[in-house]
Amino acid sequence: QVQLVESGGGLVQAGGSLRLSCAASRTILSINNMGWYRQAPGKQRELVASISNIGSTNYRDSVLGRFTISRDNAKNTGYLQMNSLKPEDTAVYYCNARRSVGFGDYDSWGQGTQVTVSS
């Protein structure tokens, strides 16, 4: 298990950009996947993007071409670059670190950072 702290959220106008950071308390080399999830009021938490320890990425369709996920193992930090933001991107964004084993997954979560996109 690892402690995660998100930062970089805030208020931005539609079309603007933000970069979210996820700082881990220890090495992330053993983390199979790092991801970003978001949750808007009244909605379930949903996957935004994920990246494996070998660089494979996955994005939900609505953010393809606008968001970029990355990880810097030397800095023990993950990032989510968000461009061309839309009001529907407004949510609390959470960093996730997942270690997978044969019988299940072990998840660590950050506290969340608010992203608000105004129209």
Give the pLDDT confidence of 15-52 residue by residue, as tens digits. Answer: 999 999 999 998 888 888 999 999 999 999 999 999 99
Give the residue carrying structure tokens 């997954």.
Answer: 105
Average pLDDT over residues 66-79: 95
* Spatial separation of the C-alpha atoms in residues 115 and 61, rounded to whole Å: 19
- Give the mean pLDDT of the chain: 95
pLDDT at 102: 86
Q: What is the DSSP string of 4-67?
A: EEEE--EEEETT--EEEEEEESS--TT-SEEEEEEE-TTS--EEEEEEETT--EEE-GGGTTTE
d(C-alpha 12, C-alpha 86), whole Å: 9
Q: How confident is the model at residue 12 (pLDDT cuts 50, 70, 90)?
A: very high
What residues form DSSP beta bridges with 93? 38, 113
